[in-house]
């Protein structure tokens, strides 16, 4: 799959579900879905269906550095051979005989024998040449900067309140193609939390753009204070625009004003909601799964919010931990144009000594160049990615 097709596939949602009443859905917790008769399993069936022994063996294997290292190496070699076999015969490549790789460690040899026994008894275990049709290289959105889920500390008004848990994914528009989207983060929220809670856990680079310090109409520096919490925002959900209410007019009013300038046949039907982000609870909304909802903040920074799942609260869910962030996509950092080795921290504008403007550079390279005699040269710090990136 080429890059264009991969981005198009990731930017496609749906079909969306019917609108779901979150509050009515949460009430089903009191019905048959959580009745005692439905949750009690006879001991004989529970023992027969238990996978505790398999889980124990898998954990034991992955905790062993030699065994887990062998499995990863073996998997890479198998995938490599599958791709070589599936490629055109014009590309002559040597197939690696991974079985001939002798590993003297006794535990690894025992693991090899166990895997061979599985492949003999289970025909679907080994990869065939056709498996190459269903393989692709990992994308940036497949990686996660978190090594464990990121929990928050929130107040719980009523611990006994019936709540649902929503899994929400935030997608960014790509700078080089606004028709394409890329997954940025995934969050879990309680249905009693608000749209403001969702916005507060959003991780966005534009929230960390330093504000200009202007005197007499000229920019002479940038503020180091992060005012990300005070940035205005609007979310459009099922034809209603929810603003922050921090100003009059707010972002919802301004968005509706801009929509009114569009041709009538292309104008979406959006009206301003009576409530704001801070006063709108998630369980007061009708939401559709796999439906992208538009969000605008910090000038022209656009996101799309997608509800992936709505489920009932589990006994193991600690309500004070929500919102919970389960995934953050790594940011592809621009390298310094001077050394091409480390990420850039400054954007240099208007310096004739540099090949382009703006030109991004790391601190050592810019320090070695020294300040420019041209007063029109400006140095802007790049986002430091602090807000929301703490593990």
Confidence of residue 385 (pLDDT cuts 50, 70, 90): low
| Shared-domain flag, residues 57 and 184 | no
Q: Which of 306, 328, 350 is the last residue of a domain?
A: 328
CATH number of the domain that residue 189 is part of: 3.10.290
Q: DSSP code of 152?
A: -
Q: What is the mean pLDDT of the chain?
A: 83
Q: Which of 106, 137, 168 is the last residue of a domain?
A: 137
pLDDT in tens, 82-113: 877 766 555 555 555 555 555 567 888 888 88
Q: Which of 98-107, 337-346, 373-382 has the lowest mean pLDDT?
A: 98-107
| Shared-domain flag, residues 126 and 165 | no
The pLDDT of residue 38 is: 47
pLDDT in tens, 146-193: 888 988 887 776 676 788 999 999 999 887 777 788 899 999 999 999
Confidence of residue 37 (pLDDT cuts 50, 70, 90): very low
| Shared-domain flag, residues 272 and 205 | yes
The pLDDT of residue 101 is: 53
Q: Is residue 112 a part of any domain in this protein?
A: yes
The pLDDT of residue 93 is: 55
Assess whether the previous peptide bond of 67 is cis (omega < 30° from 0): no
| Shared-domain flag, residues 156 and 133 | no
pLDDT in tens, 18-36: 999 998 888 875 555 555 4
| Shared-domain flag, residues 272 and 368 | no
The pLDDT of residue 229 is: 59
Q: Which of 73, 103, 137 is the last residue of a domain?
A: 137
Give the three-class secondary structure for 33: helix
Q: Is residue 23 a part of any domain in this protein?
A: no
Other Cβ atoms less than 10 A from the Cβ of 32: the count is: 8
Helix boundaries (H) for 249-309: 251-259
| Shared-domain flag, residues 84 and 231 | no
| Shared-domain flag, residues 178 and 302 | yes
pLDDT in tens, 40-98: 778 888 888 888 888 998 898 889 888 888 888 888 888 888 877 766 555 555 555 55
Give the three-class secondary structure for 282: helix
| Shared-domain flag, residues 133 and 161 | no
| Shared-domain flag, residues 124 and 197 | no
Contact 302, 251 (CB under 8 A): no
Give the three-class secondary structure for 36: helix
The pLDDT of residue 107 is: 80
| Shared-domain flag, residues 160 and 299 | yes
| Shared-domain flag, residues 153 and 108 | no
Q: Is residue 28 a part of any domain in this protein?
A: no
User: Which tokens is 86 given?
Assistant: 């599936």
Other Cβ atoms less than 10 A from the Cβ of 113: the count is: 10
pLDDT in tens, 117-140: 888 888 888 888 888 888 887 888
Q: Is residue 95 a part of any domain in this protein?
A: yes
| Shared-domain flag, residues 120 and 250 | no
375: Cβ contacts below 8 Å, ≥ 6 apart: none
Domain range for residue 243? 141-328
Residue 221 vs residue 348, higher pLDDT: 348
Q: Is residue 87 a part of any domain in this protein?
A: yes
Q: Is the pTM of this model over 0.85?
A: no
The pLDDT of residue 194 is: 94
Q: Is residue 13 a part of any domain in this protein?
A: no
| Number of domains present in the structure of the chain | 3
Q: Is residue 208 a part of any domain in this protein?
A: yes
> β-pairing, 271-272 with 240-243?
parallel
Q: Is residue 37 a part of any domain in this protein?
A: no
Confidence of residue 114 (pLDDT cuts 50, 70, 90): confident
Place of tokens 């028709």: 179
pLDDT in tens, 257-306: 999 999 988 888 999 999 999 999 999 999 999 999 999 998 888 999 99
């Amino acid at each position: 799959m080429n890059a264009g097709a991969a981005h198009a596939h990731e930017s496609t949602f749906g079909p969306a579900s019917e609108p779901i009443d979150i509050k009515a859905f949460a009430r089903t917790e009191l019905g048959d879905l959580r009745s005692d008769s439905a949750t009690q399993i006879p001991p004989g069936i529970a023992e027969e269906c238990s996978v505790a022994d398999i889980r124990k063996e898998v954990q034991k294997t992955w905790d062993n550095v030699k065994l887990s290292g062998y499995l990863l190496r073996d998997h890479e070699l198998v995938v490599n051979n599958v791709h070589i076999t599936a490629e055109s015969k014009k590309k002559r490549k040597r197939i690696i005989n991974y079985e001939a790789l002798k590993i003297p460690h006794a535990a690894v040899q025992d693991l090899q024998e166990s895997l061979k026994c599985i492949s003999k008894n289970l025909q679907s275990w080994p990869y065939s040449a056709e498996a190459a049709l269903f393989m692709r290289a990992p994308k940036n959105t497949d990686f996660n900067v978190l090594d464990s889920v990121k929990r928050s500390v929130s107040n719980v008004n009523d611990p006994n309140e019936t709540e649902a848990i929503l899994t929400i994914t935030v997608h960014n528009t790509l700078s080089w193609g606004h028709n394409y989207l890329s997954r940025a983060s995934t969050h879990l929220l309680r249905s009693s939390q608000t749209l403001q809670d969702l916005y507060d856990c959003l991780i966005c680079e534009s929230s960390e753009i330093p504000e200009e310090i202007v005197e007499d109409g000229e920019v002479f520096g940038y503020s180091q204070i992060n005012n990300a919490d005070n940035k205005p925002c609007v979310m459009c959900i099922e034809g209603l625009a929810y603003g922050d209410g921090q100003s009059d007019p707010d972002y919802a009013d301004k968005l509706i004003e801009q929509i009114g300038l569009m041709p009538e046949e292309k104008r979406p039907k959006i009206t301003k909601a009576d409530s704001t982000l801070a006063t709108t609870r998630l369980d007061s909304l009708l939401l559709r799964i796999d439906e992208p909802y538009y969000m605008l903040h910090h000038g022209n920074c656009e996101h799309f919010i997608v509800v992936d799942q709505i489920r009932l609260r589990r006994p193991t869910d600690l309500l004070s931990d929500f919102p919970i962030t389960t995934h953050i996509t790594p940011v592809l950092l621009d390298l310094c144009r001077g050394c091409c080795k480390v990420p850039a921290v400054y954007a240099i504008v208007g310096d004739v000594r540099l090949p382009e403007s703006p030109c991004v550079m790391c601190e050592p390279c810019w320090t070695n160049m020294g300040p420019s005699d041209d007063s029109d040269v400006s140095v802007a710090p790049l986002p430091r990615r602090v807000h929301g990136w703490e593990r």
